Structures are given as C-alpha cells and as structure tokens.
C-alpha cells in the first residue's frame, strides 16, 4: 500500500528536521495514524505523476522535458526539485529521496547535462532519507558534473545533503533560511489507547537479549538518557562533523548555536559560512556552469602535470 512507507517513517523514524516541519504535518500524521485517509488510487505519487524533468538550456531558458535527458540541448543544467519533508521512499503524497537520487544520477550520466541544480525547499526529514541524496550528489561530482544547491528553506536533513554540493546559494532575500543542524526523534506510546480498548500488550525478551530495545523500554518509562546517548548523539556528532568537513574554513564555528540546531536567515547564513551566495535561479545556473568549467580546466591541468 502507498501509505505503508509513510506509516513506517512516522512511527519509527529518527529525524533531521526543523520542528516547524513537524508542526506543519501534524494534521496529516494524525489522520494517517487514525486511518482517516481513503482514496481509490493509492499508488505512490511517482507512479501517478513522475518527478518533473526540468532543465535550464544553455541560453538560460527553463523547460520541462517529456522524455529523458536525451531530449535536452547539449550543455543544459538539470534542475532537481527537492521539496517538502524528506523520506527515503516515495509515498502517496510525496516523492522519496530515492527518486530524486535517480534523477541526479541520470543527469550525471547524460552527455547533454553539464551541471546539476538541486532546487531545495525543505525543512528536513527522516535520517535514512539523506544517504541516497548524498550518494547521488557525490556520484555526479565524481562524474565531473558541478552540483549547486539553490535553496529557499534548507533545514536539517536538507542542509545535510546540500552541504555536499559544490556551492549553496540562497534563492531570495525574503524567506530563505538555513541550519537546524541537529537530530530528534519521537515515537507513539499506545499503552493507554490499548488499555481503554481492553487490550493488554505483553512484551517478553529472552534471558540472552537483555540489551535489546533497552533505550526504548527506558524511554517508555520516561527515562530518555539512553536514547540520547546511544541513538541521537552519535547521529548529531556525525551531522556536525560532516558539515564542518564539507563547508571547511568558511564556517564561523564560534557562532552560537551554529552546529546545535539554530536557524539563520539568508544574510546571516552567508556571514557565518552556511551558504556561499544569494541569487536567482539564473544566477545559480550560471554559477553551476562556471564551476563546471573551472573543474574541467583543473582536471586538464592535473592530467598534464
């Protein structure tokens, strides 16, 4: 069923996500958990409507392709729309990062595509949604294609992925926002719900499995220390280290809250090193091509040395 991946992510997931993203989805989440959504066509969104195949041609004109990248003019920039809450697999109402990653890889393999623009507008999402995007971005860069992130909202998991791009550019000077470098999780406790329905749930562990699910069992009793220490802190540390590695010396690490969940609007994000510039989509496309040219020249020079 198309909802199964979304149910799974909502109920079990760890999240690199801005809390505002959580708040905005609460109504849908509650309806999902109460089985309050019914639709005759329950295929995943990508099966009903494939991810739009967008390019910016060499002259700057943006177009939607009906076929594959083989129809794109030579030297085009592929535009990948990374929008909304990020989940690894597509659901009834959203594309998954696996689908975005497939498009990035397809663009990287096309001789007609010179660079890739990730059009990001996302408050983050599930932890397991990040790896497909990162792998695809690194694949494209490994194929010699520049990858630029052009962002409105770029928070948490979305920023994690964007940090692997050659450059990060804010899309505007009104709403573009960056950061929320941190991790959270939540899980429902149905004990009282089952109790009210007259159902008692028994969970029994082997004598040889005393560590199995121990952090979650402690959390159900109100003790969150093990969850923080064993589940969340390692993810947060990896997030921080990868951002530091990817953004390099441009990051002003002394900025309060920079790596601990704070959000920054475009101008301050530029000042503290979370982004490289502020500009329109045309500017971002131009930068992606300039970076691509620089990479081509550098590779040629290195091949001769």
Domain that holds residue 130: 4-187+242-304
Q: Is residue 77 part of a domain?
A: yes
**Euclidean distance between CA atoms 165 and 264, whole angstroms:** 19
Selected residue with higher pLDDT from 248 and 5: 248
Q: How many CA atoms lie within 13 A of 285 on its CB side?
A: 19
Instruction: Using a pLDDT cut of 70, give the percent of the chain over it.
Output: 84
Domain count, the chain: 1
Token couple for 225: 């220390």
Q: Is residue 223 part of a domain?
A: no
Please state the pTM of the whole predicted model. Answer: 0.86
Q: Is residue 219 part of a domain?
A: no
Q: Is residue 213 part of a domain?
A: no
Q: Determine the pLDDT at residue 34.
A: 55
Q: How is residue 77 annotated by DSSP?
A: E
Smallest CA-to-CA distance from 129 within 83, 162, 154, 97 is with 97
Query: What is the average pLDDT across 251-264?
Result: 97
**Euclidean distance between CA atoms 80 and 50, whole angstroms:** 12
Q: Is residue 231 part of a domain?
A: no
Q: Is residue 65 part of a domain?
A: yes
Q: Determine the pLDDT at residue 131.
A: 97
Least confident among 1-5, 96-100, 204-208: 1-5
- Say which residue the tokens 């079990």 belong to: 12
CA distances from 203 to 96, 191, 200, 243, 264 (A): 33, 12, 10, 40, 44
Query: What is the average pLDDT across 203-231?
Result: 92
Mean pLDDT across the chain: 87
pLDDT digits (tens, 9 = 90+) for 223-251: 999 999 999 999 999 999 999 999 999 99
Least confident among 80-94, 139-153, 268-282: 80-94
- Nearest 5°: the CA angle 141, 145, 147 is 70
Q: Is residue 206 part of a domain?
A: no
| Residue 6: pLDDT over 60 | no
pLDDT digits (tens, 9 = 90+) for 109-150: 999 999 999 999 999 999 999 999 999 999 999 999 999 999
Least confident among 34-38, 120-124, 205-209, 252-256: 34-38
Q: Determine the pLDDT at residue 187.
A: 78
Q: Is residue 222 part of a domain?
A: no
Q: Determine the pLDDT at residue 2.
A: 47
Q: Determine the pLDDT at residue 194.
A: 86
> Do residues 85 and 252 make contact, with C-beta atoms less than 8 angstroms apart?
no
3-state secondary structure of 146: strand
**Euclidean distance between CA atoms 45 and 90, whole angstroms:** 7
CA distances from 101 to 63, 261, 295 (A): 20, 26, 22
CATH number for the domain harbouring residue 67: 3.90.226.10
| Residue 281: pLDDT over 60 | yes
CA distances from 85 to 27, 105, 149 (A): 14, 21, 17
Q: Determine the pLDDT at residue 3.
A: 46
């Amino acid at each position: 069923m198309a909802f199964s991946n979304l149910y799974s992510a909502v109920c079990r997931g760890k999240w690199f996500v801005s809390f505002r993203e959580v708040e905005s989805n609460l109504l849908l989440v509650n309806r999902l958990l109460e089985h309050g959504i019914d639709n005759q066509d329950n295929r995943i969104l990508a099966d009903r409507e494939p991810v739009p195949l967008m390019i910016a041609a060499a002259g700057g004109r943006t177009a939607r392709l009906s076929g594959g990248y083989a129809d794109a003019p030579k030297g085009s920039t592929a535009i990948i729309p990374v929008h909304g809450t990020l989940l690894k697999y597509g659901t009834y109402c959203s594309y998954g990062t696996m689908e975005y990653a497939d498009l990035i890889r397809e663009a990287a393999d096309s001789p007609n595509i010179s660079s890739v623009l990730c059009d990001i507008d996302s408050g983050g999402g599930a932890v397991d949604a990040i790896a497909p995007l990162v792998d695809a971005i690194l694949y494209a860069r490994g194929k010699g294609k520049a990858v630029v992130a052009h962002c409105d909202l770029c928070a948490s998991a979305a920023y994690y992925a964007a940090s692997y791009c050659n450059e990060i550019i804010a899309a505007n000077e009104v709403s573009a926002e960056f950061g929320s470098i941190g991790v959270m999780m939540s899980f429902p406790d149905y004990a009282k719900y089952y109790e009210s329905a007259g159902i008692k749930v028994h969970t029994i562990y082997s004598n040889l499995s005393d560590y199995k699910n121990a952090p979650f069992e402690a959390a159900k009793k109100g003790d969150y220390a093990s969850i923080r220490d064993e589940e969340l802190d390692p993810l947060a540390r990896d997030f921080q280290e990868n951002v530091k590695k990817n953004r390099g010396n441009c990051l002003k690490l002394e900025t309060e809250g920079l790596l601990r969940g704070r959000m920054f609007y475009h101008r301050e994000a530029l000042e503290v090193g979370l982004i490289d510039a502020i500009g329109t989509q045309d500017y971002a496309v131009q930068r992606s091509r300039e970076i691509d040219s620089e990479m081509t020249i550098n590779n040629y020079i290195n091949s001769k040395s």
